[in-house]
Amino acid sequence: MPKKDIENEGTFSIGAEGIDIQKIMSKIRKRVDEKKAAGVYDKYNLDDITKLDISEAKSDEDFLRYYLKIIRRTYMLDIDDFDIPSKRGILGKPVVWLKKIIWHLMRFYTYRMFTQQREFNLQIVHTLAALNRKIDKNHKEILDELKKLKSSNDGDLK
């Protein structure tokens, strides 16, 4: 029975002798770093967009405006095809071809789900934006009414 590698228990474990998990993980991390450096993941990375930097928000209104801006930029799900590369030499082209066939077969099921999610996201964004406009309009009307009342009270006091 193979020994368990306690150090890698949290990541995953392979129950076979002679498998160097550290070497595998090192190769994976190296490949991810190479792809990051090449910009492969930039198109799908929303970290910069979704970071919630509220240091500029000095009030609830500022926070709401900022967050609505973030929501407007991130509602759209990317359902385009991903590039399917391969560096397997002779076997690479058939593997890529097989992956593309599988993706096209799955697309029938996933495309509808993703388009429905995108439509839902869009409706939520529009609803929130409309509510924000309505609240801003009501707030302005209340402030205008208060100014009128204050000016009429000031006139009565003189």
Closest C-alpha to 21, from 33, 36, 44, 4: 4
Q: Residue by residue, what is the 3-state secondary structure of 85-109? A: CCCCHHHHHHHHHHHHHHHHHHHHH
pLDDT value at 146 more than 90? yes
pTM: 0.44
Contacting residues for 84 by C-beta, under 8 A, at least 6 apart? 96, 99, 100, 103
- Which pLDDT tens digit goes with each residue over 58-98? 677 777 777 777 777 776 666 666 677 777 778 888 888 88
pLDDT bin (cut points 50, 70, 90) of residue 158 is: low
pLDDT value at 38 more than 50? yes
- Which pLDDT tens digit goes with each residue over 43-56? 665 555 555 555 65
- Which pLDDT tens digit goes with each residue over 87-132? 777 888 888 888 888 888 888 788 878 888 888 888 888 888 888 8
Q: pLDDT at position 143, please?
A: 94
- Which pLDDT tens digit goes with each residue over 10-37? 555 666 777 777 888 899 899 888 888 8
